[in-house]
Amino acid sequence: MAFPAPVWLAVQEELLESGEPEEDCGSQSCFDDFTDEALFESFHLSRACIAFIADAVRMRVKSAAFKKSQPPVDVMLMTALSYYAHGVFTSSVQAKAGINQPAGLVNAVNIISGVIAGMSDVFISFPLTAEARDRIASRMEELCGIPGVLGVLAPAHFKIRASPYDKKSFKSFINTLGYTSVVSQFICDSEGNILSVEKCCVGSAYEQELWDSSFKGREVEDGLHGPFWFIGGKGYRLSEHILTPVSNPVSDREVRFNEAHAKVHRVMQSMLGAMKRRFRCLQQLGFTEEASLNKKSNIIKSCSVLHNIAKKFSVPLPPRAGMGEPSYPGKLYTSPMEISPEALKARQELIDRNFSASVGSRDAP
């Protein structure tokens, strides 16, 4: 899992020891009025999962300054979870929440998104011990045959609306596929658990620039997480820690390596597809300006936290709604990126050692 068992158990113990939950909707939780089926249809989460989330949010709110004039925490959480699930404020949940003004609904989502995004320090955890890193790398190798891989690295684009009247700003949001978006940097493991999510930039940003300027990118390139690889697509530069596919494979072993690389990269595509399927707000984040990126970042990070929690509770995905989005091809620099000879040599040695004919009889990706 993205967060180790001891951390998960510690969170559960802290919740259980925190005393009686504050009464937000009378003596019952707002979610008690829903049947199990209605609960899943409304929030795309199970009752046990929502109960855990609600307790965690209440605990965070208790430990932070919070305006007493705000609606009850459970009411705001119900409003936010419904918005995450559907991307709109549904009339049924709006009626239960008793928040009639659009500004009040948006305010509830922004508040809860800030709280849940702040929980990422617990529920989106990068492997920090040698044992945890070795365990993740071992599972990666089992999946694709590439040793020493700690995670999959990719940009995630989320559609937005931007004002066409500010031409410069509007153009900055247009990505390689031609639509306006914001982009965040994700790292996940072989099971689709999110290990890291950071940055929220305009859609035209280069993923290599995201990596170079990110906290995790600087840590990795400085060697703070050990001699491991991260699987990256064509928008990244091959380096000591970023493992990209061979642009023009000339041998069978290079073809096999590219197939293995694509297999593990599809884990990220599947994870992002599952997130957008469960949290449909991510399919269209609404009107955005460069000055409001922090609010969109909180929504993206909140859905990432909830994704990891939902996986821990084995919550199934809701039915598909509409066509899936095409995978993002990556934004290449207009001029070729300079690649160090040492990185090229290291990748070739990895290919020769693990994808020669004698060791190439692995299951096809």
d(CA 104, CA 213): 35
Q: Write down which residue in 92, 107, 123 finishes a domain.
A: 123
Q: Write down which residue in 90, 123, 156 finishes a domain.
A: 123
pTM for the structure as a whole = 0.90
- Under a CB-based contact definition with an 8 Å cutoff, are residues 160 and 40 in contact? no
Which is nearest to 154 in space by CA: 128, 189, 178? 189
Residues of the chain with pLDDT under 50: 1-7, 9, 15-27, 360-365
Confirm whether 174 is domain-assigned. Answer: yes
Q: So what's the pLDDT on residue 361?
A: 47
Sheet with 229-231, edge to edge strand ranges: 194-202, 181-188, 149-159, 229-231, 242-243
3-state secondary structure of 131: helix
Q: How many helices (DSSP H) and strands (DSSP E) are in the chain?
A: 14, 5
Q: Do 104 and 143 share a structural domain?
A: no
Place of tokens 């994700």: 186
DSSP H or E stretch at residue 188: strand 181-188
3-state secondary structure of 159: strand
Q: Write down which residue in 89, 123, 157 finishes a domain.
A: 123
pLDDT tens track for 199-212: 899 999 999 999 99
Q: Do 105 and 187 share a structural domain?
A: no
Residue 198 has what DSSP assignment? E
Q: Do 43 and 176 share a structural domain?
A: no
Confirm whether 268 is domain-assigned. Answer: yes
d(CA 335, CA 65): 50
Burial (0-12, 13-18, 19+ Cβ within 10 Å), 230: buried
pLDDT tens track for 276-306: 999 999 999 999 998 889 999 999 999 999 9
- Under a CB-based contact definition with an 8 Å cutoff, are residues 232 and 262 in contact? no
d(CA 77, CA 92): 15
Q: Do 340 and 196 share a structural domain?
A: yes
Confirm whether 363 is domain-assigned. Answer: no
Q: Do 269 and 147 share a structural domain?
A: yes
Count structural domains, the chain. 2
Confirm whether 107 is domain-assigned. Answer: yes
- Under a CB-based contact definition with an 8 Å cutoff, are residues 331 and 202 in contact? no
Residue type at position 67: K
Other beta carbons within 10 Å of 68: 4
Q: Do 158 and 237 share a structural domain?
A: yes
Residue 39 belongs to domain spanning: 29-123
- Under a CB-based contact definition with an 8 Å cutoff, are residues 11 and 57 in contact? no
Q: Do 112 and 68 share a structural domain?
A: yes
Burial (0-12, 13-18, 19+ Cβ within 10 Å), 249: middle
Confirm whether 349 is domain-assigned. Answer: yes
Confirm whether 3 is domain-assigned. Answer: no
